[in-house]
Amino acid sequence: MNTMPEAAFRRTVYRARSLHTMWQTEQEAMMMTATTARRTGGRTKKRRAGGPVWMRLLKGLGAALLASLAGVAVFALLMQWIRPSDGVVRIFNQVLKLVSIGFGVFVGVGRGQDGGLLRGALLGLVYMALGVGVYALLTGCSPSASAWLADLGMGVAGGGIVGMLLTGMSPR
């Protein structure tokens, strides 16, 4: 008769050890990743390293805009000596937009973070919408709907592709 309670006690101790081992493994795994967990209001939220998502995207947008300004300034200085044709200027403009979006996504999303495709596409969309809006304000004329949609599509595609590539990379 003593064996039954003893067996139940051993099972209980074994289960408690198993739960403690699982909890300890989970804690170690959380410490090794780039995310941290914090307890708020009964729920555990994951927060990315580097602050909230909207703040990182805002930093990425600022980085993309600064990259564009720097690229335009350098190209404007080079234009005085090179005298490129209109076709070269158009191609450079498109390449500069894509490079700026890529740099902004790199700053805003980072390597190995989740949701790079969506965040990169969003950053590209906002960057291109701001660019088209500033162009319309500075020139006083609005581009055609097809040109506007093509620019927005290029921004979404370029940002999404760079974000997806960065998500697949391992964090440093």
Q: Each residue of 112-158: pLDDT tens digit? A: 888 999 999 999 999 999 999 998 898 888 888 898 999 999 999 99
pTM for the full predicted model: 0.69
User: Which residues contact residue 43 at a Cβ distance below 8 angstroms, ignoring those fewer than 6 apart?
Assistant: none
Whose CA is closest to 101, among 166, 42, 53? Answer: 166
User: Which residues contact residue 94 at a Cβ distance below 8 angstroms, ignoring those fewer than 6 apart?
Assistant: 154
Q: Tell me the domain boundaries of the chain.
A: 53-168
Query: What are the tens digits of pLDDT across the range 22-32?
Result: 555 565 655 55
Whose CA is closest to 125, among 150, 155, 148? Answer: 155
27/49 Cα distance (integer angstroms): 17
Instruction: Quickly state the pLDDT bin for 171 (edges 50, 70, 90).
Output: confident
